[in-house]
């Protein structure tokens, strides 16, 4: 199974930059999208249908904001929209599909970069999300949690850890949450295969950051630990240029 997570920063904008042709060549079985910024009626889905995708959308209530989607060639047994907490579901942050062998979620964690109010919202989300997943693990142990976590876990995951030490996305309390969450039963599938530095999935649009590879690794495919022996490969795909993020691929033999 080829699973790709991708924050497209607006699916319509990404389609205008060649997203459909990229999907044809990369051929994910399951594509987890974040920040779609659109409702299905605003998007010409013909090309996705022709590729054989079943499409599930969970947009934010606010137009042109946030939202997640999952496109899958494998028809799921069940689709779960949201996490059951109104303030988060209003923003379209969690969508899950359940298959015979695993459950795959597309998750868009809030950013706290716009100020103290949103940082507080982010920290409450992190606490609530951890509790939500803890409850989910009991009935769905084979979880694969894909998405934009808006957190760099370790210094290796950010281009300049010293100057960003007090920046949202690399705050000590965020990194500690990430460590505890992973330790609660998940594997960072990219780091499972790759310990090299300078591997990023997001770059600021400012100051030519992407060309200089001054980035952050904030997009993850986290896999339940007991599936580790089934992991085959995970790579970041920086050549995909449809967004300020790039896709992250996970191959798993289920």
pLDDT tens per residue across span 187-205: 999 999 999 999 999 999 9
Q: 23-45: per-residue pLDDT in tens?
A: 999 999 999 999 999 999 999 99
pTM of the entire structure? 0.98
Q: Where are the beta strands (DSSP E) in the chain?
A: 2-7, 30-34, 54-58, 68-72, 78-81, 94-98, 103-108, 143-148, 186-188, 202-203, 215-216, 219-224, 231-236, 248-252
Q: Where are the alpha helices (DSSP H) in the chain?
A: 11-16, 19-26, 46-50, 86-89, 116-137, 172-183, 189-193
> Which domain covers residue 122, as residue numbers?
2-252
Q: How confident is the model at residue 9 (pLDDT cuts 50, 70, 90)?
A: very high
Given this model, what pLDDT does residue 158 score? Answer: 98
Q: What DSSP character marks residue 198?
A: S
Residue 29's pLDDT is what?
98
Number of separate domains in the chain: 1
CATH code assigned at 163:
3.60.10.10
The whole-number pLDDT of residue 112 equals: 95
Active site residues: 148
Distance, CA of 30 to CA of 115 (rounded, Å): 34
Vertex 30: Cα angle to 96 and 198 (nearest 5): 100
């Amino acid at each position: 199974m080829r699973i790709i997570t991708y924050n497209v920063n607006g699916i319509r904008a990404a389609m205008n930059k060649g997203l459909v042709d990229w999907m044809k060549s990369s051929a994910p079985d399951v594509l987890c999208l974040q920040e779609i910024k659109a409702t299905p009626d605003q998007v010409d889905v013909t090309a996705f249908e022709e590729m054989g995708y079943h499409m599930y959308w969970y947009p934010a209530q606010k137009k042109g904001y946030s939202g997640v989607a999952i496109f899958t060639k494998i028809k799921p047994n069940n689709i779960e929209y949201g996490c059951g907490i109104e303030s988060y579901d209003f923003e379209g942050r969690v969508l899950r599909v359940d298959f015979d062998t695993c459950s795959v979620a597309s998750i868009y964690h809030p950013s706290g970069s716009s100020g103290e109010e949103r940082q507080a919202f982010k920290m409450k989300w992190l606490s609530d999300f951890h509790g939500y997943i803890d409850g989910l693990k009991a009935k769905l142990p084979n979880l694969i949690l894909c998405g934009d976590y808006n957190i760099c876990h370790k210094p290796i995951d950010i281009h300049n850890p010293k100057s960003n030490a007090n920046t949202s996305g690399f705050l000590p309390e965020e990194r500690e949450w990430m460590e505890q969450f992973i330790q609660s039963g998940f594997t960072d599938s990219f780091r499972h295969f790759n310990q090299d530095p300078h591997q990023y999935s997001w770059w600021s649009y400012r100051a030519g950051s992407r060309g200089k590879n001054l980035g952050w690794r904030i997009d993850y495919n986290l896999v339940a630990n007991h599936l580790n022996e089934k992991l085959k490969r995970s790579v970041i795909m920086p050549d995909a240029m449809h967004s300020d993020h790039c896709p992250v691929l996970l191959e798993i033999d289920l």
